Structure 1
Amino acid sequence: MEGQPLRLTPRWMDAHLLVVEAEGVFDAESAPLLCGPLVRMLRVGHRQFVIDFQRVTRFDNAGIQLLAAARRTIRAEGGMLTLVAGPDARSAFNTADLGRPAFLYGSVVEASRACRAARQD
């Protein structure tokens, strides 16, 4: 499979919210590069995550399933993981039956707002 390797650019939106911009190919090989650190951050107390997938060029089901498992872990520990998804990402997540409205957002602002609202509940 050809494609640009996954590149991740993290930034703190505020003290509680980490935004990670992803670019390249998201598959079984690259998904652990994102999912592993998210779960480790959860273990040390971080709970709010936004992943911006708008610049990801290709998804595969195995990568999406790893992300879904990380999301379940984050939610089980009181955290929130939201995704920013363009049309390609939405299609990939819908195909894997993960295209839920409470999970996918059209912009970082919307996804961040959802995380902050969950933090206040």
Structure 2
Amino acid sequence: MPRRAARGPPKQKTTILFKAGNLPSNPDELFRRVFWKSDFLAAEAHNFWREVKRAEPAGLPIQAWKDWISKRGMSVGQFYNMIHGLVGAGFVEKRDSRWHLSGGFLRELEQMLTVYSTESGLRYQLA
């Protein structure tokens, strides 16, 4: 019987819309850039992110999903898609069976700025 190739843990990734000339001016717009297919998931993801933020530094137990979907009227699939987007965008991460805020999104943006400024010769300066 042939063996299957061993795979490592899956890399979480998601698509974030970057629209030239249309800068997000508030957190709701930022979450809509990640959850561009569903305004409902964008709003729920922002609410979940706020809940994780309130739970810091201890973090939000991963079992909280059961309460979350029953209170919010979400399906398990919608919750899974929301978490996948939040983790893939680098907004939250799972550590020690708890959800925590993540700096992954900021690191990704910083790296993009560094690569683009090096390639283009343009300097970037954070406002």
| TM-score calculated relative to the size of structure 1 | 0.27
Higher helix share: 2
| TM-score calculated relative to the size of structure 2 | 0.26
